[in-house]
Structure 1
Amino acid sequence: MNLVHQIEQQQMKQEAPQIRIGDTVRAHIRIVEGNKERVQVVEGVVIKMRGSANRKTLTVRKVSFGVGVERIFPLHSPRLEKVEIVKHARVRRAKLYFLRELRGKAARLKEIKVQTTKKTGRVRRKKIKAAKKAAEA
């Protein structure tokens, strides 16, 4: 069992970002078409994560031309160039399957603004709504 764990550790990406459910991400995936290779960008909400270590996958949902599209990305795949976190959202579920039924503005999630404090370097998360009210006052 220890040998399997060692091999998995070697195959894992070292710079994998801390992605959470509800984050809007931009995934850069390498596509091979014939003898050409290009990078395709998929931007959407992470509705599901499963697995652990180098088997971890994330499911990204986006609406393309009015049709919901979900795509599963193995996080440690060599085809996945990088994953950028666009914004964070406050969610209370581990799986966001309810977004499949919602359309338009109803499918929005509450955004969380992420700040790092200067002294300690800790990450503080707060709702955008509260931050806007404080700025107006």
Structure 2
Amino acid sequence: MAEENKTKKNEAEIEEEQNKKEPLPDIKPGMVIRVYEKFIDTDAKGNPKERVQVFEGIVLSHHGRKEAGATITVRKIAIGGIGVEKIFPIYSPSIKKIEVVKRHKVNRAKLYYLRDYKKKLKEIKE
């Protein structure tokens, strides 16, 4: 019984932390979003330093809408025309915020065909 109380407390604490965060926008495939991810980096002297890295790209897929383990797959074209994909856990404490830059109208739930798309991803029909 003591273990059940501890797990209930942990679940309650996790829910409180999630409620403290800004509400996330309704993210759908085809949107161009900007994800602010924080991570701890070390400087030359070995001191820890917290940084925020921005990743902007188009959402290819969304897994697990409101679940704790929900993820989104975001793809961007880096310098030199190389495609970079990153999978973000939405409710992770390392995600500071998510901004919607553009909304594109798409007819599919998974946009994996954009991996082979030769033009830039931001040139999709609006």
Per the normalisation by structure 1, the TM-score is: 0.70
Distance in 2 separating the partners of 1:69 and 1:106: 12
Find out whether 1:60 has 2:89 as its counterpart. Answer: no
**Larger RCO: 1 or 2 (CA < 8 Å, sep 6+):** 2
SS at match of 2:68: helix
Deviations 1:97-126 (A, max 9, x none): 000001225773222xxxxxxxxxxxxxxx
Q: Which amino acid aligns with 1:24?
A: V
- The Cα shift of 1:12 comes to 3.3
1:17 aligned to which of 18, 21, 25: 25
2:37 aligned to which of 29, 38, 41: 29
Q: Is the 8 A contact 2:73 2:88 kept in 1?
A: yes
Q: Provide runs of 4+ in structure 1 moved above 3 Å.
A: 2-14
Count of equivalent residues: 110
Unaligned runs of 5+ in 1: 112-137
Q: Is the 8 A contact 1:12 1:54 kept in 2?
A: no
The percentage of counterpart residues that share the same residue type is 39
Distance in 2 separating the partners of 1:74 and 1:7: 19
The structure that is strand-richer by fraction is 1
Find the counterpart in structure 2 of residue 40 from structure 1: 53
Root mean square deviation, CA, Å: 2.4
Find the counterpart in structure 1 of residue 87 from structure 2: 72
Question: Cα 1:4–1:56, aligned 2, differ >3 Å: closer, same or farther?
Answer: farther
Q: Which amino acid aligns with 1:44?
A: G
Q: Which amino acid aligns with 1:12?
A: Q
Q: Which amino acid aligns with 1:41?
A: V
Find the counterpart in structure 1 of residue 4 from structure 2: none
Per the normalisation by structure 2, the TM-score is: 0.76
Q: Is the 8 A contact 1:11 1:76 kept in 2?
A: no
Unaligned runs of 5+ in 2: 1-7, 43-47
Find the counterpart in structure 2 of residue 130 from structure 1: none
